[in-house]
Every structure is written in C-alpha cells, then in structure tokens.
Structure 1
Amino acid sequence: MLESSRIQGKRMLKLRITISVLVLSCCYFVYIVEAQVTAPSEVNALIAMKRKLVDPMKHLANWEKGDPCTSNWTGVLCNETVGTEGYLHVHEIQLLNMNLSGSIAPAVGQLSQLQILDFMWNELTGSIPKEIGSIASLKLLLLNGNKLSGSLPDELGSLSNLNRFQVDENQISGPIPKSFASLSSLRHLHLNNNTISGQIPAELSNVSTLLHLLLDNNNLFGYLPPEFSLLPNLRILQLDNNNFKGREIPASYGNFFRLAKLSLRNCSLEGLIPDLSQIPNLSFLDLSHNQLTGPIPSNKLSDNITTINLSNNLLNGSIPASFSDLPFLQRLSLENNSLTGSVPANIWQNMTFASSEILVIDLQDNSFSDVVGDLNPPENVTLRLGGNPVCSKGGMTNISRFCGNEDGDNGTLGNSANSTSCPTQACPTDNFFEYVPSSPVPCFCASPLRIGYRLKSPSFSYFPPYELPFEVYLTGSLNMELYQLHIDSYAWEEGPRMRMYLKLFPVVNGSQTFNASEVRRIRGIFTSWRFPGTDLYGPYELLNFTLLGPYSTMIFPDQKVHISKGILVAIVLISVVCVVAISAVVTLLIARRKTRYQPSLSRNKLSSKVSMKLEGVKSFTFREMAVATDNFNELAKVGQGGYGKVYKGNLYDNTVVAIKRAEEGSLQGQKEFLTEIKMLSRLHHRNLVSLVGYCDEEGEQMLVYEFMPNGTLRDWLSGKTKEYLNFSMRMRIALGSAKGILYLHTEANPPVFHRDIKASNILLDSKLTAKVADFGLSRLAPVLDDEGTVPHHVSTIVKGTPGYLDPEYFLTHKLTDKSDVYSLGVVFLELLTGMQPISHGKNLVREVNMAHQAGMIFSIIDSRMGSYPSECVERFVALALMCCYDNPEKRPSMLDVVRELESILKMMPDADAILSETASIYSGKSLPSSSSHVSLDPYVSSSVSGSDLISGVVPTVTPR
C-alpha cells in the first residue's frame, strides 16, 4: 500500500514536470516567434525615435524589449496580418500626453505604412522632420500642443492620403508651403497659435476636400484669398489675430456654399462688410476689432445664426430690421461703433425662449437715441445700452438697469452629483469609484473613464441649449447609453474654445468597470477621430485619456497578430498540450462562473432617480400622486398603454392632470421615462402636449401631463365618443398635428424624430385642439458630418406601432423625418375613412391606394363626418397618399404638408373661421421659406402628376 502510494507520487511528480516543460516550451516557442515579427527597418526606426526622446515618466520603458508588434510597446499599434514579405508593419504611433520632450527623429520616415502619428500634448522641441513627407500612407499627423519650431517642410505636400494635419499651439514660423495645395485628401488643416508669417497661399483653394481651415493667432499678412469661396466643402474659416492691414473682406466670401463659421476678428481689415445673406448654413460670424466702415448689410442672415459679433469697428447707420427674425440667435455684439437711430425691441420680442436659452444684446458705446417697442425683455435676455444717448434721455422708464457695463457669464458649469441619497460606505472609499449620476438604477457605483476634451471652434456662444444634443451625439458615436456619459464640467477658453471634462460609466447592473477591450474600443474612437463631424460643435481635440484606479495597469495596445500558416500550425499543436494541462483549472473557473449570483431586478431598483432640475417641470412625491388619484383608484383610470396606466388626477392646487404610471418591472418604460422628461422639458408648442412634472421615488416612475379632456383622436374615430367630427374639425386636427410635428422637425434644436405618430398619440383639448403626445420613443436628429454630406437618418432598431411604421425604416432601420411624415399620412387616412391602420388583415394605406386607383375614393370616406367639399377631400386624399409613398424621397416635408393643409382650408366655405382658430404660431413667426418647396396640388402642379400620387402599392407592415 505504501509502495503503491510512493509510485503514484512519483508518477504525479513526473506528470507535473512534463506539463511544466511543455508549458515552458510553448512559451519559449511563442517568444521566439514574436521576436521576429515586425519589419526590421521599422524596429530600427522606433529604437532611433526613442533615443531622441526624453521620457521622465518611463512610459517607453518597454521599447527595445521583445518585438514592437507583439510585446505591447507603449503606443505602438500594428496591422493584424503579415505582409507578403513576411513581416508586420507599424500602423499607428499613439503617444498622446506622455510628458515626452526631446525631438522627433528623422528615422520616423522609415515607418513606410504608418497611418497615424500622434505626439499631441507633450514638450517636444526641434523641427518637424521633412522625412515625414515620405510616409505616403499617413492619414493623421497630430503634433499640436508641443514646442516645435522651424518652418513647415515643403515635403509634407506629398502626403496625398493625409486627412488631418494639426500642428497648432507650437512655435512654427515661416510661410505656409504652396505645396500644401497637393494635399488632395486633406480635410482639417489646423495651424493656429504659431508664428507663421507671409501671404496665405491662394493655391489652398485647390484642396477641394478641405473642411476646417484654422490659421488664427499667427503673423500672416497680405490679402485674404478670394478664391477660398470656391472651396466646395469648407465649413470653418478662422483667421483671427493676423494682420491684413488695409485689406478688405472679399465680396466673393458671400458665395460660400457650406460655410458655418467665419471668424476674422482683429485682422486690421478695412472697407465694407460684404453681403453674407446667401450663405445658407452660416451659424457664427465674428468680424470684431477691425476697421470696417459703412452700414451693416440689411439682408437677412441664415436662420442658423447663433452669434453675430461686429463690435469695435467704425460702422454707421442703424440696426437692420433683419436682426429681428433670427430664431437661434444667442449673442448680438455691436458695441463700440457709430451706429445711430432706434433700438428695435422686436429683436427679443419676436423670439421664444426655452429655459436653457439666452440672448445677449450688447449695444454699448454707440449713438442710439431711443428704444422702439416694449422695453421689458424677458429674463433670458441681457440688454446693454451703456454709453448711448438713450441712457441720458429723460422720460424713459426702467432704462437705467440696461445702462451699466457689467459683463455676463456664459461659461462654467459644474454638474452636481446625483441628488439621490445613497449610502456613503457602499461605494469603495478610494477616489476612483463613484455613483453614476444619471443611472436608471439608483445608487449604482462604478469607476468612470476620465477624458479631457475640447471643442476647438464651436459655432455657438452659449452651451446649455446644446448640452443634451451634444450628449446624444457623443454617446451615439460611442454606441453607449445616454446615462453612461456625465459632463463633469466645462469652461470657455480664449479662442473661443470650450474645454470640458467627461466621465464615461459602464452599463448599470454589469461590472463596475470597463473591461480592457471596451477601454481600447472607446480610446480608439477618440484617438482615430471617428466621431461624425458637425458644423455646430466643429473640430474637437482630445486633451487626455487618463487611466486611473482599476484602469491604471492596462497596457495598450493588446493586439491580435496573424502570422504564417506553418508557424501557426506549430503554435496550435503545442498550445493543445498546454490547454490539456490546464483544462482542470479552466473547468473549475467555468463552474465558478456559472454559479455566479445573478441579482433580480425589483421595482425599487428600476427607479431612475432623475437627477436634473428643469425649469417649469415639477418633481412630485409619490404621496402627492396617490392623493391626486385617490390612491390610484380604478375610477380615476382613463387609459392604458404599453408603458402603463393613465389616471386623471387633481393636484393640491386643483389643477387637473393626466398621470402616466409605469408598470412594475418595465425596463422599456424606464428608458422611455427618461427620454420623455428630457424631450418635453425642452419642447414648447401649442400643438405638443405639455409636461407638468414627474415622480421618481418609492420605486415608481410617473409622468404628469396637462389633462386633455377630449381624449385621443383614436377615441373619436372609433366611435367611443357620442359626438362625431365633421370635415372642418378633422382638417383642424390634421393641421394642428402637422404643425406640432413641423416644430419638432424644424424649430426644435436639434430637430426631433417622434418615431411613434399615431391617432392614439394625438390628444384633443377642450376646444379640440390637437396636441402630439408620447415622446418615449423619440430620437434627436443627426447633425452634419465631416464628409461633406448631410446624414439625414438615425440608424436604430425598429420601434413604433404596426400600421404606422415607415416601410423603408422597417427594412433598413434608418429613421428620418420622412418616417414621421409616413406615420402622419396614415393618420390622415384615418381621418378620412375612420378605419384603423390594420384591421382584419387589411392595410389601410393599401386599401385607400386601391380605391383611389379605381376611382372609388368616395366610397370609403367616413360617412359620419357629414357633408364636405369634394375638391377639398380629393386634395386631402392626394396629400395623405403622397405622405405614404414607400420611397421617402418622394414624400413631402412637414413644411410642405402644413402649407398644403392651409391651402386646402382656404378653399372651404368657413375658411376664415377655421384658419383664425388654427393661426400659425410657429414660435411667433410666419412659416419659413423653402427653396425646395414643391406644390402638392395635383391639379395645378406641373412637377407632380396625379399618377405620381398613386404609383405603386405601399407594402403591408405585418404586426410583430
């Protein structure tokens, strides 16, 4: 027995030794393979580069150890497959913000397949090596934020694949090489904040791909190249703080096709301001601190304009009347000129303000003698009149409060932590874990990624109205949920630029940290500039991507390497032995993983704890909701949907409200709850239902709306009500609904796609005014990208209601404004017929199409609406069917829909009465013009024929 045990022990020992030898052999073999992977010339180049760098933090300590592509050399990323010559190649050098000094070695030119060279935010000195010009594959050359000097090498003009060249915030001198005109793929040229001198080469106008040209804060002189107006995709032209003394702004600058920002501040420019009214997307205009003369051009600037700064010039004349109709204006600076006449109060009277919006009007130190209109601007408006005769004029009441010279603050935000009361000891006590501020599950503790981020040239002056759209833009680009992003703080800097600090949190109820692959993915998006470009936010720069706490030990990159088949087979064979040796351990780990505790969600955990204070939106307690509904008595219930039940409630001040209460365990409702609060808090229109408040406690989620005593349009069309809607009433409802959606598509900033337009989401007040409701599925529209195209869709999973779903959206998952047009077209067909979109297997769009083609349209008109003018009905049918085209491009815009409805109403006998009740309140302004407007009258239009209106049969959308 004892001998047997000894033998068994020896066998076990031999087995262990054998396994150990095999494992060591495997590791050694892999090491030998790895040591010979990267192209030798590139290994030598990297070693030469390291020797030219000073690395006090020892970030590059692992360089020269092992192989660059397989040993995780800091900041070195390689391609994943071996080339034809049998080697891997370096594709990226990512050495952002590593406190490096020294210089860039000319050997960098040996990295023949390099695509990204990133040395941003270090302390590098010396000149830019001309050898970089030989790297034909280079796409991103990022050297900004160093101390580089010397001139820009002519050789860089050979980089035909270069997309982005950033050398701003250095000490570069000399002229801009004319060879840069050969950078045929260049989109971003950032040379600002250097000492570059000389004439701006007119040859740069040959770079047709150019989007952003930032040359501000240099020593440039000469003239402004008029040829720049020929650049077809230019979005930002920023030349501030140069010296073009005695030169004028070329008149051709009024011909820019896509320009969003023109900034020529403090350039010693003279002459007249050219007419810039034909630039369709101009958002930001700064011509301040020059010597411009003459009057301000009277033609109206783009509706997109947020900032007009003409201060500190020699301008005369009066304020143009066109300044009174700029819906998104945030700042009008005309101070320190010689302007005369009266100040028109309708600059602010014609505007409507959401709680997050402001308007600063600075008219100091001119010769204004009067104010025409009501001198009582709302709280959102800051008016400065100091230094004008009007301030010393008697008889004007309340004028003194506008005559000081104080300056407002448009600037710094510190987002507060979650207001939810969470246990202080539940989160780890170190500084790298915290409660997720906007978590849909309360008191979720996690460690965020901390990111420094700066908007280099935004096209706005005040951030709060764009904060939520920016969060949606950023999280959408990162494929993350909205609550995962927290803007910790932001502040305006000289430029103007906006620095912000972001925190990105893991998904709730998962791990408290991101795993390495997710960190790598997020970092890659930031460092490779894969965010879609926007005119509004302009170019950005990554200031830091600091890995702290649980992320501090992560090494990047962690790469997959594909090597030759023979070596791969050998590695696989040896790896099989290694796998067998450790299979028991793996099995144990899997068993433990399977037994991991999976927490269940309770109603309390579903509470989102909305940590935001919204003006005009009240936070109610659960007790207040219970009292208002008599403890949610069934007698108070007025409806029910997928989200939950709806109750009629009476608040303590006798206000009658509708209270929508989420069903227990409704994860979908939880997301819609947050979406609807954030959407409705910033949307204000008479044809949109108003959000009174919300309740988010006791594990409950409730939304409180204004009460609509006449219920839903679906109720009226289904016969649940005792009365019926005549044709005039239906047209009023159609027009009111269309105006509400038009507001979402064109005046909401940014625009909104509703995504669930249907008859049950159109509510009717006591006067049967239509109000669009239920924004739980809504999505913000996308913004312009950097490729010179307009991304008019949002890619998203299909949501909505069968029968109302846009077939194109259903098939492609591309949501557009035309998806809402389709859904509204179905509602129009319901108004005409009284039928439901899908009933007994029949699709309403198909049925009406067939009746229209057969000339039998009047046979399916709802008989309950009484008499009607046949010509009006025919035009309404034509409009509805056009809205329901299966090809989105053939559908009208919402502006065209509203215009056609108003045109139909004018044909009716009681047109004046109807139109007076549905008078346009498009934010106090008339409907905007549309350069692409097409008449929708099939009887008079030469561009839209009657057969076009009914071509094709819209496919049935099967309920899911």
Structure 2
Amino acid sequence: MELSPWLVFSLGFLAQALVILADTNAQDASGLNGIQDSWNKKPSNWRVGTDPCGDKWNGISCTTSRVTAIRLSSLGLSGSLSGDIQSLSELQTLDFSYNKDLGGPLPASIGSLSNLENLILVGCSFSGEIPKELGQLTKLRFLSLNSNKFSGSIPASLGRLSNLYWFDLADNKLSGGLPVFDGTNPGLDNLTNTKHFHFGVNQLSGTIPSQIFNSNMTLIHVLLDNNNFTGRIPPTLGLLNTLEVMRFDNNYQLTGPVPSNINNLTKLAELHLENNQLTGPLPDLTGMIALSFVDMSNNSFNASGVPSWFTTLPSLTSLYLENLRVTGQLPQALFSLPAVQTLVCRRLRGNRFNGTLTIGSDYSTQLQLIDLRDNQISQITVGGSQYNKQLILVGNPICSPGTGSSEKYCASPGQSNQAAPPPYSTPMNCSGLPPPCLSDQLVSPGCVCAVPYRGTLFFRSPSFSDLSNGSYWGQLETGIRAKFRSLSVPVDSVALHDPSVNSVNNLQLALEVFPSGKTQFSEQDISDIGFILSNQTYKPPSVFGPYYFLGQPYSFANVVLIPSKSKANNRLPLIVGASVGGAVLVAIVLALVTIVARRKKRPKQNEERSQSFVSWDMKSTSGSSVPQLRGARTFNFDELRKITSNFSEANDIGNGGYGKVYRGTLPSGQLVAVKRCQQGSLQGSLEFRTEIELLSRVHHKNVVSLVGFCLDQAEQILVYEYVPNGTLKESLTGKSGVRLDWRRRLRVLLGAAKGIAYLHELADPPIVHRDIKSSNVLLDERLNAKVSDFGLSKPLGEDGRGQVTTQVKGTMGYLDPEYYMTQQLTDKSDVYSFGVLMLEMATARKPLERGRYIVREMKVALDRTKDLYGLHDLLDPVLGSSPSALAGLEQYVDLALRCVEEAGADRPSMGEVVGEIERVLKMAGGPGPESASNSMSYASRTPRHPYGGDSPFDHSNSGLPSARVEPK
C-alpha cells in the first residue's frame, strides 16, 4: 500500500517534533527500549511514553538529556541483559540487584561503558564467564557480582581497574587461580587502591601466589574462604598493614605454618583460619591489639602449651580453638578480658587443658559461654560463687561419676537445665493486641499493618559471637532506619529476627522494612532501598564487619507481567496494526498540541517588553508561577543595549557556559556586569529563574548582588554588581594578575565560607549552592570574596527535613560523592565542594586533571610525622615551602580533609568551617578580610569573565570523584 504524501509528511514532522521535544538523548532512549525488549517483566511505567528522562521512568536518573544511572533492585525483572546497554555511553551507575530471574551471560558490550563507576548485580542469576571486557572500565569504583552463577576464571584484565575500591565476586562458581602480573598481562596485585577482595564461596583453586599481596596495597578485607586453595599462606600477607578482616577458612587443603610476621597486622580485627591443614606452631598473635575474633579450629598445629598471647588481646570477644592439641592450665586472666564473650576450646581430637579451672569473681560481664568439653580439667574455682552463665565441662575428669560435681556444668548442651535464649526478634510497641492485617501485610514494630520489603542480611565476619545480645540488634535497627530516613526514603520502621550462623560461617538474619504513611512501597521506593543496601551506602556498626544483602521480590499492585512475544503470535498482526495506528494518531495530535501550546507561551520577537511573569513557562523554585522578587529591578532590552554600547566587543569581559558577560555603566554611574544568555546555553529557563529568585532575597557582603534582570524580546539577561578582580580560579592560574600569598588565600577562603554559611544558616529557607568552585568565587577591589552563580542552587528544608531529592548537578571534581550516589542533596554537599576548593587553594591544581583527583592525591601524600605534613611536592610553589611562610597549614589540611569525608554526617557545618579558618588565619598572623587590601599588589590587566565560570557540565576534566562511601 502506498502512503499518501500527507501521511508521509505528518510522520516525518512527528519524528522531528518528538526529537525536539524529548528530554532524553535519542541514543539513550533507543538503548533503554532495546533493554526492556529483552525482559519478560519490567517496571510498570517503562511502558508509558517514549521519553525516559522526561517521563521519569522508575529507576532512571538523567543529567541533562543523558541517562547516567539505572537502579532497579527487587522489581522482579526477568529475562537477560541486552547488548543494547552499550548505547548508554554516559552511564555511571548500573544496579540490577535482587532480581533472581534476571540472568544469562553478561554481554561483552558492557565493557564499552567508559564512564561506568558502579556495576552492581548482586543476587541475580547471571551465568557464564565474567567478560574480560570489564577490564576496560577504568573508572569503575564499585564492582559487585556476588551471589550469581558466574563460572570460569577471574579475568586477568580486571587488574587494569586501578580505581577499583570494592571488588566482590563471592558466592559464584568461579574456578582457577588468582591472576597476578606476569610481565605482560595485568593481575590483581596491580589493584593498589582496592580496599576489598571478597572472593569467598567459589571453587577457586591452586596456590595463593606470593605476589598477590604487596606493601603498596591498601586492602582492609581479604576474604578467600570456602574455596579449594592449596599450599601455604604467603608470607607477603604480613605486608598488608591496613588489613582488618582476614578469612582463609574452609579451604581444607591449606598447609604449612602460618607466616610468622602475621602479628605485623596490628589493625586486624577478625582472623579466620579454621578447617584447613595448617601445621607448625600455633601462631603468635602478640601485639595484635585490635583482634576481637579468632578461630583456628580443626588444623594440625604442633602440640604446645597455653600461648602467652591468650591474655594480651584487650579487644578479644571470641576465641575458638577446637580440635587442637594445646596443653596446660588456662590462665584466670583470660576470663577477665573486658570484651570476651565466648571461649570454645574442646578436646575432641586433642586439646588437653588440665588442672584447676579458675574463673575468679572478676570475670567479664560480657562472657556468655565457656565450652571446655573433652579436656582434662579436674577442679573448678569460681571466686566463691558459681559462674551463672553457660559453662560446659562434660567429658572432663571433674564430671566423672562419683566426683559430686555440679550437674549444671556437666550436662551436654542438649541436656542442660538452662534453656537456650530465644532467637532475637524486634519487639512490637503495641498498647494492646496487634491489629488484624490482610494476608499480604504484616504488623510493623509500630503496630501498623503494611506490606514490608523483606530480605536477608549476611555478615561475613562479625566480631562478636553472642547472638542473644539484643543491644547489637538494637544498634542495627536504629542505624538502618536512620539511614533510610536521612535519605528521604519513606520508611517507618525496620524489624530484625532469627539471627543464626549458616553453613559457610556467615551470620544471617531476616530484615523487614515497613513503609511510612502508606501501606505499600512504590517501585521507586524499593529501588532506592535496594540501592542503599547493594552499594553499601548504609554502614553498620563496626562490630558487624562486611555484609551483603539479598532482597526478595516485592509485590506491586500496579506491576503487570508482560507476556513474551511467543505467547501472542496468533494476534500479533491485529495488535501491531491497532497499536501503531493509534499511537501514530495520538502522537501526532499530542505533538501538534504541545508545539502550539509552547509557541503561545514564547514572548513575541517584536514585543518591546514582557507583559507579566505569569506568562513564564518555567517551574518555579518556590512553588509559585510568579518569581519572588525582593529588590531586583527589571530592565528592558534597549536599556541594556545602551549601557553596554550595543554589547560591544570593547565591553566583553568574559564568556562562560551561560553566555557572554559585558561591562556596563548605569545612568547613575554604577558599574554592572551584564550576563546575556546565548542560544544553546547549558543553563536554561529554570536556572535563569532560580538565580533571580534566590539572589533577589539574599543580601550578604560575601554573596554577589543581583541588580536586576531582563526578560524582553526573547532575551534572558542577568545584571550583577561589577566585581573587578575576576575569579579566584584566574588568580590561582595567574591569568588575572592578582598574586595571592598564604594569608591572602586564607582571607579569601574565610570570606567565601562566610557567604556559604549565610546561605545555609541564615537564608530563609536555607539554600544549597550546589556548584561551589574556584570559578564561582569572585574577588572585589579589596580582594574580598563573593560567591556567585546560583543557577543550580536549591532551597532546602522547606519541609523541615534539611534535604531534598534531586537530579545530580554540579561540577566534576567538586561533586559530593554521597550526593552523587544517593541523589539526596544536603548542605553537606556544599561543604564537600568547599573542602575540594581548600585543597585547590593550597596546591593551585585542578581538582581533577589527567585522571588524578586532588582529594586522593592529598590523602596518599599526607604524612603527619613530617613538617607541613610532607606535602611539599603538592603545594603551590608560589607559597614557598617553609613552615613559617605557611603557618597553620597542618590545621588547614586537617579541616579540608574533614570537609571531604565520604559521609556527609562526618563533615563539619559551614559555620564550624568559618570558625576553624579564623583560627588558622590568626596562626598565620593575618588580619580579617575587611582590613586587608591597601598593601595588595596587582599586575596590570583587564579582568576576564568574572561571572561566567566553568560550565557545571564541563567535561574537559573527565572523571568524577569517589562515588562510594567506603564501608568497612
């Protein structure tokens, strides 16, 4: 059938109109459609519209028009992952966790996602080999492929992931050895920035190569448990002086002695060597003062006496030495260690503790279990009274018939008169009987019926063994609930129950999360909760150690199973015909209506002046269609053309992401800077309106003043006070001719900090700037700082929560990783950016340059034992290198590093920052900024673009700062 010319024209017009109107990049939209075509079940609103960013598809986050994150945990997705994923070239986060019916091979094309930083596929059913192409993802920070069905070997190419922080391949079917650098191919020993090696519960084999560990590594977790490794534990393990958790248990074939330098690991808290064939003397753990959990059971160590280190471990909670051949009398001091909870030293095949067991009256209040079955103990002394916790002595001479010993100590655990404590369960806070609930609902701890999100928490190496201690679980409940609430997830309460130790020695317990203000979570809520747990945003108390979570599918009333194509083949022509015809007709009508409506809202080109702000089609930052103006005046276009000499080149003082900036002189004689939006600007109508509304109601000497604006003849123009000495960035790079010594830099930073503190603490409502950087700090004629460029700013706390959920915006290098990962904006995001600015001021280096991130560079180079913290090579040479010229630098660096803590809660407020900088300035002998300027020197120059700055989406500095809260 030949299409009519009118229909051909309409379809072509429709295609162009949709491209113009869509908020999503066409390549990204196509890629998402290809992905969902490979799924049998998908998020409910992915079938609504064709514009993922504009239509706000669940789990999709966008920056401008590009898809930057997909987070779809526990949505019951089924099918496979299509190779169309490669179309999402700006993707930074991919999380499909807890979709157990999503599987098949992982497409090799995922290796083309050069911006990917977080790849999280926990608890799915992906199978086959891990693609070697993942080694191309050089920005990857977080790689979690645990609890899938991957097989084959660990690709050596993963050794190229030099930025990797979290590396979890546990609970798969991986085989082969651990790849190391062989002179040609990379290996895991290259991963010197990685903190976590989680490779347990696989089928890995061969010897553990000696070069897998070296002194340049920063590992805190090495989990190689439940594999098939053979040979010896390499002595290079003792070089990992950052190590906190080590699991080599349940390999069964590890042999030889434990390296004698193991006691170099003074930060080690959990040591698991059980169920192997280790020989030699019992390892000497003297000096390991952080050690809390030790299990060396079921090995073949040489017979020995009671080790002297038994009583020298102040943090010890749990000591397991089953089936060893240790002899001698247990020292009384062992039972008085302040933290000790469990002592298990059974004989079975060999322990021979003998003599009198003296517990004493000062035994630890934490001590819950002493299990000394099948030893040679003949007497017991408990300080004049009986030990009232669990003591098991069955199989010792003291329990032989006719000795008259207490049945309390001589009964087997199953025959003991002491009842075992019931498994923990979060108590309910009901004044009466719990209410009756529908079949799919449960009663929450707050006594409300709702449909909870459920799953299981697994702790791979907790530092305690007393599962009946409710204080641990109470801490966990409080922490999880607080984290969800702090990130604006609608959670009322959480419940924990049934803690137990599973077959691979992991502590597991059930978790239920209940919604707040409704009976059921939305799909977006579930994705948010899942992501907080899958990417380790929530950090449990340190006693719980490393964890992972497996969520159950959540039942949504509005999620419908989409039939596969094969199930509808008999009706396919009818469905396709009707759908396409209807969709084309509806789309054409909608496109035409939208275009007409938008045209009606545009100011006419020949209008001399806008009639009213009511005609604006922007979203107001304050919830009103009329901007809230306090003092800013309106200009018409002709006025501004006149004061800038028709926007002449002679008055051109800069060019930024928004447009050109011109110097102008008002009839009153006041100098102003006129920032004119140009076509294709990275800042649009919303940013224009935001800057007007916010700047018109803030007045502070360290915040640039808005004189007025123009919305006339289709122009968007902002008029500011003129600030003559350009941007702080220009001063640091030498472009402006302003020379800043150490004291002047401190004064500038103090002024900027005061301006930001005013926005956070005195503006009503508080304002988060969201783009603090050196190009957005201006310097006036006395080098006083003025914070500028409020196009990305957000009012905060209008709902009383002090935070807002929003798409991530900001400048790479200065961007807060917690905000980037969670999309939860707080005033601490500005604090992070200001901390980066502080480091930039001290070094005169770009925050992010050639893959080097100033925060990481500073932390690596820092040595607090040396003068100036050993940072001579990083500091700006202009400042000099003597401690006298840089008085207060150490305190300054400490403050900057506090500002760039990974978790916002660990950062100071801007008010605290102001106070600290004032103290450093006093140490440097400098007066306040108001008295500073007569002696300041300048070079002859014309200031450049003091208001333009860098675009917040300037990708010249490719890469982002650390996007993971570094969990233990």
TM-score, scaled to structure 2: 0.49
Higher relative contact order (CA 8 A, sep 6+): 2
TM-score, scaled to structure 1: 0.50
